[in-house]
Amino acid sequence: MRITKLGHACVRVEHEGGVLVVDPGVFTDAAAALDGAGAVLLTHEHPDHYLAEHLRLSDAPVVTIEAVAARIREDAPDVAERLVVVAPGERFTAAGLPVRAVGERHAVIHPELPRIDNSGYVVTCGDQRVYHPGDALTPPGEPVDVLLCPVSAPWLKAAEAIDFAREVGAPRVLAIHDRVYSEAGLDIVDGHLRRFLEPAGSAYTRLPDGADL
């Protein structure tokens, strides 16, 4: 299994010839991310996770929830021809890899703002499971080997990221959603996450764009 971080919340998961790309949004080098992709997974409709023009760089199926599919039908009817709509809890195969959709709602940004739909995904690569929660702190409901953990967002504080990662309990924690803070701010968050996660047996890593886990 190979996991490549490709800007903010975008990761590329490769295993035995299968290539899945999750959330190639505005901060992503989409050409690099989508090259050879067998399928694209989208967690929700915010532009740091979804841009229609990025999806046009590939002819791979686009797998997502109905709320995002409706947005794509409006934004890009040409891309909509490749849509595969999944429901919360549904198990499916994408790029030859087993996947399960997790959760239904985006985290609360502010109580007075409406919440949008969001689905995370557990991707199974042989005997390893990788969990991308999108913009939510919904646990996966099963043990996973790698948690892709949001570490900076308007809806997130460091204590919540720590508690979420400890609840999931994955042996490896890879930081995602990291373009909101400066490098100085991220260094502080990294220190807190390592301080709490490593004694609990979780190895924490934040990779530069283009690097592999």
pLDDT digits (tens, 9 = 90+) for 55-92: 999 999 999 999 999 999 999 999 999 999 999 999 99
Q: Give pLDDT, residue 182.
A: 94
pLDDT of residue 140: 98
Structure confidence by residue, pLDDT tens digits, 162-180? 999 999 999 999 999 999 9
Nearest to 133 by CA among 25, 49, 39: 49
> In the chain, which ranges are E strands?
2-5, 11-15, 18-22, 39-41, 62-64, 83-85, 91-94, 97-102, 120-125, 128-132, 146-150, 172-176, 203-205
C-beta separation of 152 from 179 below 8 A: yes
CA distances from 5 to 56, 160, 188 (A): 20, 22, 20
Q: Backbone phi, then psi, for 202, in 5-degree steps?
A: -105, 125
pLDDT digits over 125-154, tens only?
Answer: 999 999 999 999 999 999 999 999 999 999
Give the integer Cα–Cα distance in Å for 11 and 57: 16
pLDDT of residue 205: 97
Domains by residue range for the chain, with CATH: 2-205 (3.60.15.10)
Confidence category of residue 16, pLDDT binned at 50, 70, 90: very high
How much of the chain, in percent, has pLDDT values that exceed 90?
99
Express as a percent the part of the chain with pLDDT over 70: 100
Helix pair angle (158-168, 183-197), 10° resolution:
40
State residue 74's pLDDT score.
Answer: 97
DSSP 8-class letter at 46: S
- Round to whole Å and give the CA distance between 201 and 33: 31
Mean pLDDT over the full length of the chain: 97
Q: What is the pLDDT of residue 139?
A: 98
- This prediction has a pTM of 0.97
pLDDT at 202 (0 to 100):
96
The whole-number pLDDT of residue 159 equals 97
Length of the chain counted residue by residue: 213
Cβ atoms of 21 and 50 closer than 8 Å: no
